[in-house]
Structure 1
Amino acid sequence: MYNIGVDVGGTSVKAGLVKEGEIVFKNSQETDKIGGVEALANNIISLVNEIVEKCSVKIEEVGTIGIGVPGMVNKHGEIVCVNIGIKNGNLIELLEKEFPTCKIDIANDANVAALAEYAFGSMKGYNSGIMLTLGTGVGSGIIINGKLVTGAHGIGAEIGHITIDKNYFDCNCGNNGCFETFCSATAIIKYAQKLIGEGRESLILEKAKNIENITAKDVFDSYREKDIVAVEVIDRFKNYLGLGIGNIINFIDPDVISIGGGVSNASDIIFDGLEEIIRKYVVFKGVEIADVVIAKFKNDAGILGASAL
């Protein structure tokens, strides 16, 4: 039996035929952001039909079509995806009409990435795990006993929006002090811009050429060259990352915490001394705590995780 995983993004919809944790074939098309849930359903229907045709697979041989979406999924299967123009659209109903022999399931894209790591990647073999994706924001997924934990109303597991300290700028969600305003690529860039804007000299600016063009990679590359501003930025980032992970351990005590997202490409820097920082914030000293690991999957996490729903 095959499964199909669909990864819905703001610019493209990607889908893949999956068997035993391996992607057999995948394809993508541009996301239709104008036509609402019906247009998204048509995106998915087109991709699924194309995949089964090109792989000479009957749709009856596909057990599950799982979809990861960049937004909220409530307990009724309705989705809210602001960046693709969908509010309270029932995607499941539309797809069940087209593919009546398949189980249709939907989850938030960060939860889907967590499921990929749990089923096939860095968290495989553990009972409970947390996925943190450090990118433009901080996404997260919680898995306990093999099940995604999203809360009674489908709005839980938003670890990126726990409040951990007062910050000098507000989060996009409207609150101040969210985890993602300290530990995302955006947070790294903003703090570097702040220090340089205050007159600090740095290799970061030489690499970026312009303060508006600074990237997290520029900051990490400058850190490797022992640039004082970059060291200050990354040390601050790592301290808050350790604080956030310490809070997770105190609250949930998972077996493993997997770190992914674009920022994780600098894992050698991030993981250097991180456990020591985490232990400063763990209540019970000297006890065994969660393994903190690097995520295995990058671009294929959405497809693989969705296929495992």
Structure 2
Amino acid sequence: MGKVSTVSALGPTLGLDIGGTKLATAMVTPDGRHHGLQIAPTRREDGPDDVLRRLFDLGRASIDAAGLGSPWAVGISCGGPLDALAGVLECPPHLPGWLDIPIADTTSREFGVPTVLENDATAAALAEYQFGAGVCARSLIYLTVSTGIGGGSVIDGQLHRGATGNGGELGHITVRPGGRHCTCGRRGCLEAYCSGTQIAARAAEAVALAQETGRRTELAGIEPLTAAHVSQAAARGDAVAVDVWQETVELLGQALTDLVNVFEPDVAVLGGGVTRAGAMLLDPVAHIVRANAMGREAEVVRLELATLGDVVGVVGAAAVAWDRLGASH
């Protein structure tokens, strides 16, 4: 309740979440509850003007459905690269053609209230800290394991943003020097191995090798192959899937151990689509962290799955608006 009380003087805020496949909007009250949730396909091929028009229509539908009056502010959650302080989407790869879009100013004009923009994983970290798995924590690190791997951290109650506002790229720590190419241009990043996209890519490579050597696997012939197929086949004991999944949890556990050693959080939270594997992901990763983290941190840190699910983006967007704008109200 202590964390909620810090924003209780602020008003219901409109959260807008822009993903590569879906848009989500909702009014969020200072207790972290969402109202009037609206979800629609992004249809990113339509371009920024059309997508933003539909996003704003969804936002107005959320305002009407929530019945809470006009929003106190608007928060926007979106993948980067972006300039959070300027409110500009620079060139997010999940939104091809979106170059230097001044989305905060455009949204402020649309709704007549202040608007803030934040990286989606950073916003999710604050949402889980305020209202989810980190409610009782003082410090939290958050990894979203999905199409890519993003992250964020709250240290001693303060959201970490870094010198230029883009701090928290936890998915781009090196786990295999000189290893697989990553979308960031480097080699061997955590994202290049443990994102949902790369789990599937590594599995496809393993299937091709198995077929060359006469090794049987139930993953053969599945198109398109996904991380969920890999985790499910591994749970059934498929040897090829087990190898891929074992490497995944080992590298994720290695990365989390390093992060725990650096930040010493009360809780480390895993979110994103890959975490639908549940205990099959969390349990071995937690075992690795507890076996390898330094000192008492191995005993103290809790590893949790995110609790806010599909609404973490809209709740996080509102939480960031309260965090950034609250001091001036």
Superposed pair shares fold, TM > 0.5: yes
CA distance in 2, matches of 1:31, 1:275: 35
Corresponding residue number in structure 2 for 1:135:
146
RMSD of aligned C-alpha atoms? 2.4
The CA distance in 2 between the partners of 1:29 and 1:227, in whole Å, is 36
Q: 1:203 to 1:88 in 2, by over 3 A?
A: same
**Shift, 1:40, TM fit:** 5.4
For 2:156, the equivalent position in structure 1 comes to 145
Alignment of 1:78 with 2:92, yes or no, is no
1:198 aligned partner: 209
User: How far has the Cα of 1:301 moved from its partner?
Assistant: 0.9
Please, which of 92, 113, 119 is the counterpart of residue 108 of structure 1? 119
Q: What is the TM-score of this pair, normalised by structure 2?
A: 0.83
1:271 paired to 2:282: yes
Q: Provide structure 1 residue ranges, at least 5 long, that are not aligned to the other structure.
A: none
SS in 2 for 1:83: coil
Say if 2:255 is the partner of 1:244: yes
TM-superposed deviation, 1:217:
1.9
By how many angstroms is 1:36 displaced?
6.5
* SS of residue matched to 1:86: coil
For 1:66, the equivalent position in structure 2 comes to 75
Contact 1:41 1:94 in 2 (8 A): no
Distance 2:21 2:203 in 1: 28
Match of 1:10 in 2: 20
Residue 50 of structure 1: CA displacement? 2.8
Q: Aligned partners of 1:218, 1:246: CA distance in 2, in Å? A: 27
Distance change (3 Å), C-alpha of 1:89 and 1:197 = same
**Which residue in 2 is equivalent to 1:91?**
103
- The answer as to 2:131 corresponding to 1:120 is yes
Give the structure 1 partner of residue 193 of structure 2: 182
Give the counterpart letter for 2:287 in structure 1. E
Distance in 1 of aligned mates of 2:227 and 2:40: 29
CA distance in structure 1 between the partners assigned to 2:205 and 2:46 by the alignment: 40
Cα distance, 1:168 vs. partner?
4.8
Deviations 1:89-113 (A, max 9, x none): 222222223333x331110111122
SS of the equivalent of 1:176 reads coil
Give 1:293 shift: 0.5
Out of 133-142 and 69-78, give the one that drifted further: 69-78
Cα contact 1:279–1:285 (8 A) shared by 2? no
Residues in 2 aligned to 1:273 and 1:221: alpha-carbon distance in whole angstroms: 15
Aligned residues: 303
CA distance in 2, matches of 1:148, 1:87: 27
The 1:272–1:54 alpha-carbon spacing in structure 2 relative to 1, beyond 3 Å, is closer
Larger strand percent: 1
Deviation of 1:244 after TM superposition, in Å, equals 0.2
CA–CA distance in structure 2, aligned partners of residues 115 and 251 of structure 1: 19
CA shift digits 1:21-50 (9 cap, x unpaired):
222212244547478665555444333333
SS state at 2:20 partner:
coil
Measure, in 2, the Cα distance between the counterparts of 1:25 and 1:285: 44
Amino acid paired to 2:57: S
